[in-house]
A and B are shown apart, each in its own frame.
Chain A
């Protein structure tokens, strides 16, 4: 990207496209070019641990899967006109040395910058010896070593001698939380978790006898399910966690490849230990290239090179119409990046709402050919998958065998059946040979079935007239050492698929109406933000709040950690919600019943004694959470003991209390990270430090103590930790088995508190006398079991709503049309609730814009003649998709609600009458496959 001109809504962007020297339309990604290319180059994808050729694909599953010539290393470009091996051997004539750089001018309404991060480069920091000691590697290098597609095919071995290491150490905070020149003072936020994951997986690779040790300062496992993973790694996997400061890494002895780590442990003692391999947990940083781009585009950056954003508008940059997401907006992990990405798309959709659908077009398909009702005419396509299948299975033999099977009228084998040109060949074959059933024998239906279904749909066939024979994942890959047997098995699998294909039936898509309205449950910051983003895009939105006013937990946020005024933000937010013509707020209102499904929900709500029904297409859950009222540390017994924002509020209301106070203390993790509640409440460290800094700034003579287990000021919040220490806030670490003891006392006629806590460096108990104690108590779920049941969405063990996929679908549920955001999902700071709310709005909007809702039609079919109304299926169905209805004179009969059915088949398995069949997996189809499977023997 070169430049952006114009204004929000109407930008002209200049983009420079580098030549690929490979014609993307012609390349079939066969790999012959790379095989023939004589020039070997360090492979960046494998962090330089392996070699690639000068013509290459970045990785085996790359999108687009098209080769590219690295002109910086290609012999043709280096020695003008020489070599051209790739051109000579390319079977599809795809090499084009004449390609030139192209400049594109593209008009767009808005821009999203998701330029990501680069890993910190530890070269040049002699403490670590990276670059000079071969067995000191970075975490990204270790990821590649663990990977099956990596330099050692997933065998755990170290670079110096390719021997499997028996002891591996991870060093945390490399380049992060470090004030040395070139390092970063912020916390990179992700390294603790990835180091634990790497240690656990390394142990899985190596078996039981691998010793793994993580050297760290604070263990920052602050996300959802993170602490449980940490606990399991320590207690079950046996990963050692060593709280320490590392002094140096040196060669263990002359001629040795092992490494000696010298460190100071948490008792202040100098220690040494020898390891075979050391992994540096390098942090995240913004590259010079991205900084330069931001400068050219007029985007403000913060001190560390991240895009400057506000906690209230976390995806908005300083340039209107240009949005940001992912690590460019601050160090963060995958789920947070995914949420921000959806949030940025919501911000764009709000800005460009009036021009929605103006430049896009619906994909259309040819009408279904009536030949599908004729006698089966099956085409079989057997895939080489490069050498993935063909390296083991005799593909031409399988193809020839398929030709002998009943109903098969066409066969072919393809190098890559998934490549664009093969898709064209399949379409043409369908038309030219009047095929009405298609079998592809290839990789796996898990990733590729939708692609082939789409292909035959383009060829005029119903997508369910397709059958997949899995001859890679379930054959070539598992029987690599027995090629002959693998070939026989491939034939068996093809025969079974052909038999099933002959019995396949077209299945009509299920199209349902769509109510273009949203229901947001919960009127806190998350709920209001989600509602505004939807209403601003033109969708009528209801907010149902059980309390008598809007605001939720956000009202306690006096200031964000960046120092912004939380109350002004909330006041403005409420005003925008109340004044919005498309938002209807229902206060003092409870949800009493929910029925229906995506696009067609009906929710009964009760306000006082009045009931009403709301009709809507989507639901956003934003019910929030609450803070624990503890029964320890004298809470509720002494007026001097408070929690969360109470102390701050007291000092605001009665400033003389602060003036008269000599000392205050905070205790962290009250009720969090305990066996009963093994999770971190995420923003308590930040909140307590904000208050500590505020008190200490207002009254420098005040003694402020923070009693903690790990300080978790993740990401750029680390700045608060540094500032607090600079101001003289005293941090004392305690452990779970030696909690502080709080007692009431009187000193000079004044009520005070005496706190006894063991100092971890001195190893002796300290006695603190303080005027006030503030407890950072656990954030706990509201107790949403009933609501979860009504919506048929799951809660996790801690009572928070459980999303569809922790990384890739962080605001969705498995049930379509229902989304989650804010603290209902997990404790989180305001800015992350806002991000998630916008993400939920983006996901919800993609449902609401559709004219009708299409659901997967592979649902269960109930034969009511056979049904005896026992209700087993209804009880088993996890999606509430089966209802018992009363049939006069016959008792009850089961009925399927197709829109809710996910086609899992549990009901069919449970039915004692065999009255339930699954579309596309009918009993007679499966039995025919099983019989055909036996025929080969």
Chain B
């Protein structure tokens, strides 16, 4: 384990999982670099219509 520990994290993938990780880390005092291959974050969930069980709009 390196002695010089960096207070930052790279999150690879900006779907719902990546977004949640990034938010939790940023809210806990870590700098987050998010890398996403497409032009916007959101992943598969952004293309879903509504979600169980409340039929909330996935957006």
Contacts and interface: CB of A to CB of B under 8 A. Distances in A.
25 contacts: A10-B2, A10-B4, A15-B35, A58-B42, A62-B46, A106-B8, A108-B6, A111-B12, A114-B13, A114-B14, A201-B55, A225-B53, A328-B13, A337-B15, A342-B20, A345-B9, A348-B21, A348-B30, A351-B5, A359-B31, A360-B26, A807-B51, A842-B24, A846-B27, A849-B29
Contact of B42 (A63, A68, A229): A63
B13 A348 contact: no
Nearest to B41: A63
Contact of A110 (B9, B44, B54): B9
A107 interface: yes
B29 A360 contact: yes
A348 B40 contact: no
Which secondary structure dominates chain A's binding surface?
A: mixed
Contacts of A357: 7, 29
Given A111-B10, A112-B9, A117 B26 contact: no
Contact of A112 (B4, B10, B56, B59): B10
Contacts of B27: 846
B12 A113 contact: yes
Given A328-B13, A357-B29, A849-B28, 5 more contacts: A1-B35, A114-B18, A147-B49, A348-B30, A807-B51
A355 B6 CA distance: 6
Contacts of B16: 326, 334, 337-338, 341
A356 B49 contact: no
B52 A193 contact: yes
Contact of A341 (B8, B21, B59): B21
Contact of B50 (A9, A201, A326, A360): A201
Interface in A331-360: 334, 337-338, 340-342, 344-346, 348-349, 351-352, 354-360
A584 interface: no
B14 to A, nearest CB: 8
Contact of B24 (A47, A807, A846): A846
B48 to A, nearest CB: 5
Interface residues of A, number: 81
Given A112-B18, A229-B52, A337-B16, A352 B47 contact: no
Interface of B: 1-22, 24-31, 33, 35, 38-56, 59
Nearest to A22: B39
Chain A CB within 10 A, most for which of B14, B53, B59: B53
A146 B49 contact: yes
B24 A229 contact: no
Contacts of A624: none
Contacts of B55: 197, 201
A58 B50 contact: no
A356 B27 CA distance: 11
A402 B4 CA distance: 58
A338 B17 contact: yes
Contacts, number: 219
Contact of B1 (A7, A113, A147, A359): A7
A235 to B, nearest CB: 16
B45 to A, nearest CB: 6
Interface string A244-280: 0000000000000000000000000000000000000
Contacts of A351: 5
A325 B17 CA distance: 7
Given A7-B1, A9-B2, A109-B9, A349 B50 contact: no
Given A63-B40, A112-B11, A358-B7, A341 B20 contact: yes
A59 B59 CA distance: 10
Given A201-B55, A355-B6, A342 B44 contact: no
Contacts of A456: none
Chain A CB within 10 A, most for which of B21, B35, B44, B45: B21
B16 to A, nearest CB: 6
Contact of B5 (A68, A194, A320, A354): A354
A531 interface: no
A588 B20 CA distance: 37
B51 A334 contact: yes
A57 interface: yes
Contacts of A229: 52-53
A383 to B, nearest CB: 19
A50 B56 CA distance: 24
A-B pairs, 10 with minimum CB distance: A326-B17, A355-B7, A62-B40, A341-B20, A10-B2, A114-B18, A109-B6, A345-B24, A358-B7, A359-B31
Contacts of A358: 6-7
A524 interface: no
B10 A13 contact: yes
B6 A114 contact: no
B49 A143 contact: yes
A172 B1 CA distance: 46
Interface string A825-862: 00000000000000000110110010000000000000
Contacts of B39: 20, 57-58, 62, 66, 68
